[in-house]
């Protein structure tokens, strides 16, 4: 393989790559759950899918639209069933323009970075895949195995797009997604998300804290029955890394629990013991777990409300491979039941693990090392990527270590050089896995 020729072609096509990415970012492809009609996730997601399908067709790839749930671009179907799949998504999370330095749905380049919703998650990496395949074709490199680029439209809301695809077709035996971090993510913790409720007549008159179930809440405020108010300002963080935040709900509960003069604060005291402030390992629920491969269990009390005589809470647990969801749920329900709460399980997913020593993973690590000059090692995360439910799948990029892309936040961006490096690595991986054997 003439890697320099391949990289030269990728560099030559940079203006086209940026043009395609600009077109995609301009589409507000926030997935909606549509029942009926031809667009299952709304017209904008369908428009983004059509842009990618048309671009792939113009490059000479065989495309297929899976009823606007997902689309594929195959290298050459005369080679048989695809043996390698590269998986991206075209849907994005919402963006509030008032929090951005520029229009989130208009690509802007500042200081060598691409700004716009989806630039890193996951439209930018999707463009990298498309132009990596195109560069291989332009370079005249022969592949012996078929490659499938698969792009869906519902990753942010649970990946029903992949569920639909699997009712129509099979996933290739090897799959990677640039929907995570480099070098290679081979372990993703299991996830438990549960809601628990109880009739309430305690010291809190009203409360509504936390905005999403998968984040450490930054602010909590409660109006008490004596008309006074208590509040706590914390620090937001993702539920997979709660140690980086300061949980405002548990902070407020600890304040209320210390109000010994309030005889009706017993529920606040109980919750403060179940979710002790400053502890993120499930200590209060007695579910702590840890292993060398996937790290510690994390537990976050992420939402809490008191309305109409009912207290409602939501919690998020990410657990390592050394324990099981059955064992954890039994203990969680027991501890909450002892305090009078009824529990409803919202999500219960198993951990995902692909062997680090597999030839597939080792090939991806070697590509990373050759491109960056850094040691390639497998990593485990508490979050989930697009391959969480795909056997043997791993995340290969697109985030470089120790860089903040503001993914899901305001001013999400993607350095152009990171985009180009991802394109080079994706192209090299495809050629190593599917090219002619030497």
Looking at residue 67, its pLDDT comes to 97
Q: 175 near 85, Cβ under 8 Å? A: yes
Average pLDDT along the chain: 94
Looking at residue 383, its pLDDT comes to 84
Q: 398 near 371, Cβ under 8 Å? A: no
Looking at residue 262, its pLDDT comes to 55
Sign of CA dihedral 269, 272, 273, 278: negative
C-alpha distance from residue 367 to each of 51, 55, 144, 232 (Å): 29, 26, 19, 47
Q: Which helix (H) or strand (E) holds 25?
A: helix 14-25
**Residues 189-214 pLDDT 10s:** 999 999 999 999 888 899 999 988 88
**Residues 122-176 pLDDT 10s:** 999 999 999 999 999 999 999 999 999 999 999 998 899 999 999 999 999 999 9
Short-list 401, 381, 397, CA closest to 429: 397
**Residues 332-343 pLDDT 10s:** 999 999 999 999
Short-list 436, 434, 437, CA closest to 149: 434
Looking at residue 99, its pLDDT comes to 85
What is the largest distance, in Å, between two alpha-carbon atoms of the chain?
79
Between the CA atoms of 80, 16, 54 and 113, what dihedral angle is there, to the nearest 10 degrees? 100
- pTM value? 0.85
């Amino acid at each position: 393989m003439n890697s320099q020729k391949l990289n030269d072609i990728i560099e030559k096509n940079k203006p086209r790559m940026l043009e395609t990415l600009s077109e995609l970012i301009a589409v507000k492809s926030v997935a909606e759950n549509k029942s009926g009609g031809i667009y299952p996730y709304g017209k904008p997601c369908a428009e983004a899918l059509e842009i990618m399908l048309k671009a792939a067709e113009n490059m000479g790839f065989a495309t297929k639209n899976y009823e606007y749930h997902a689309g594929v671009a195959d290298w050459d179907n005369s080679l048989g069933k695809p043996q390698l799949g590269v998986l991206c998504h075209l849907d994005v999370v919402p963006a509030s323009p008032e929090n951005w330095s520029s229009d989130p749905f208009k690509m802007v380049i500042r200081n060598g970075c691409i700004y716009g919703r989806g630039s890193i998650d996951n439209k930018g990496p999707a463009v990298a895949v498309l132009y990596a395949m195109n560069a291989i074709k332009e370079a005249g490199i022969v592949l012996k195995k078929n490659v499938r680029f698969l792009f869906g439209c519902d990753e942010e809301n649970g990946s029903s797009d992949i569920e639909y695809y699997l009712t129509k077709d099979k996933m290739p035996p090897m799959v990677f997604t640039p929907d995570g971090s480099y070098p290679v993510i081979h372990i993703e913790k299991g996830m438990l998300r549960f809601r628990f409720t109880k009739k309430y007549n305690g010291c809190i008159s009203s409360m509504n804290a936390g905005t999403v179930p998968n984040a450490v809440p930054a602010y909590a405020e409660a109006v008490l029955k004596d008309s006074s108010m208590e509040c706590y300002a914390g620090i937001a963080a993702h539920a997979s890394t709660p140690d980086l935040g300061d949980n405002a709900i548990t902070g407020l509960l600890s304040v209320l629990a210390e109000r010994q003069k309030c005889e009706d604060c017993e529920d606040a005291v109980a919750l403060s013991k179940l979710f002790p402030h400053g502890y993120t390992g499930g200590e209060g629920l007695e579910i702590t777990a840890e292993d060398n491969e996937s790290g510690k269990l994390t537990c976050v009390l992420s939402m809490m409300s008191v309305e109409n005589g009912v207290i409602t809470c939501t919690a998020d647990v990410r657990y390592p491979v050394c324990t099981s969801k059955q064992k954890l749920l039994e203990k969680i329900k027991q501890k909450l039941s002892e305090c009078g709460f009824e529990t409803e399980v919202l999500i219960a997913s198993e951990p995902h693990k692909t062997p680090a020593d597999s030839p597939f993973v080792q090939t991806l690590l070697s590509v990373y090392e050759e491109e960056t000059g850094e040691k390639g090692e497998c990593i485990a995360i508490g979050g989930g990527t697009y391959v969480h439910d795909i056997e043997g799948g791993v995340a290969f990029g697109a985030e470089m270590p120790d860089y903040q892309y503001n993914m899901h936040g305001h001013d999400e961006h993607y350095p152009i050089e990171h985009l180009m490096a991802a394109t080079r690595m994706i192209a090299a991986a495809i050629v190593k896995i599917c090219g002619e054997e030497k």
